[in-house]
Amino acid sequence: MSERILIVEDELKIARLLQLELEYEGYRTKLAHTGMDGLLSFRDEQFDLVLLDVMLPEMTGFEVLKRIRATDEWTPVLLVTAKSSVKDKVEGLDLGATDYITKPFEMEEVFARIRSALRRASSSKEQGVQIGGLVVDESRHEVKVEGQVVQLTPREFELLAYFVKNPNIVLTREQILDAVWGYDYYGDTNVVDVYVRYVRKKIEMENHTYIQTVRGVGYVLKESTHEAKG
């Protein structure tokens, strides 16, 4: 077991307890004690799951979750909170939380919910994501169009994978830069346009479009068919 878990919790004793128990179970962990630190850690590093407290200094867990889901639809996020009202749970789930853990909790429950969330995430990756004739399989680092394997560079694959994680969502160039090139990238946003053209040439056919331009905003991935010109 080598899954990496980000623990965002401002109560030091609870954060340390979670870290010790999870590492004893074989997980790798990182601690963050404010909402902003948690968000920056998530953007800078790779995690398999996030344990996210709701009541945090600097930025609430709900706001952190909202920003995570703006660029990442798949990483499991378990909200941890002392609040048990239905309203709070509904708000978290509507924002994209995978599951909810209410304080005080038993560690066996935490372990079970983590295992369940990781299994679901792994199953989704193994099946790959299909949109029309386009299939993107992250576990195999493979792209197929109408059953034919398409060769992409690592950066092209990362760009396409980001699109398929956010289907039918209009993504700005800035969002794409943060997710694919990194939060600290300071180059021209035109690099997004260049790589979108590269990917389009490889995955799109005369009568089939996937990555569509939204003028003045950015791009959106959705299947679109049209008659070939004769």
| pLDDT at 227 exceeding the cut of 60 | no
Nearest to 128 by CA among 156, 96, 155, 160: 160
Q: Which residue has the higher pLDDT, 58 or 205?
A: 58
pLDDT for residue 77: 95
Strand-strand pairing, 77-81 and 49-53: parallel
| Distance of alpha carbon 177 from alpha carbon 156, whole angstroms | 13
pLDDT on residue 156: 94
| Residue pLDDT, tens place only, 158-194 | 999 899 888 888 999 988 988 888 766 666 778 999 9
Q: Answer yes or no: is pLDDT of 49 > 90.
A: yes
Hey, what CATH topology would domain 4-126 get? Rossmann fold (3.40.50)
Asked if CATH classification 1.10.10.10 holds for the domain at 128-225, the reply, yes or no, is yes
**For residue 62, pLDDT beyond 50:** yes
Domain locations in the chain as residue ranges: 4-126, 128-225
The pLDDT-based confidence of 206 (bands split at 50, 70, 90) is low
Neighbours of 141 (CB within 10 A): 12
Q: What is the pLDDT of residue 124?
A: 60
* Residue 186, pLDDT score: 67
Predicted pLDDT of residue 125? 59
pLDDT, one tens digit per residue, over 70-118 is 877 778 999 998 877 777 778 888 888 999 898 889 999 999 999 999 9
Q: Residue 56: what pLDDT? A: 95
| Pairwise pLDDT comparison (35 vs 85), residue with the higher score | 35
Q: Is the pLDDT of residue 127 over 60?
A: no
Contact predicate 210/204, CB 8 Å:
yes
Q: Are 23 and 51 in contact (CB under 8 A)?
A: no
Confidence of residue 52 (pLDDT cuts 50, 70, 90): very high
- Quote the pLDDT of residue 184: 63
Q: What is the pLDDT of residue 190?
A: 87
Round the CA-based radius of gyration of the chain to a whole number and report it.
19
pTM: 0.60
Helix boundaries (H) for the chain: 12-24, 35-44, 61-71, 86-94, 107-127, 154-165, 173-176, 190-203
Are both 4-126 and 128-225 of the same fold?
Answer: no
Q: Taking a C-beta distance cutoff of 8 angstroms, is the pair 166, 152 a contact?
A: no
In angstroms, the Cα distances linking 216 to 147, 172, 175, 197, 198 are 34, 9, 14, 17, 20
Whether the pLDDT of residue 24 is over 90: the answer is yes
Residues of the chain with pLDDT > 90, as a percent, come to: 50
Pairing of strands 129-131, 134-137: antiparallel
8 A C-beta contact, residue 53 and residue 13:
no
Q: Give the per-residue pLDDT at 185.
A: 67
Average pLDDT, the chain: 86
Between 107 and 137, the higher pLDDT residue: 107
User: What gap in Å lies between CA 89 and CA 70, rounded to an integer?
Assistant: 19
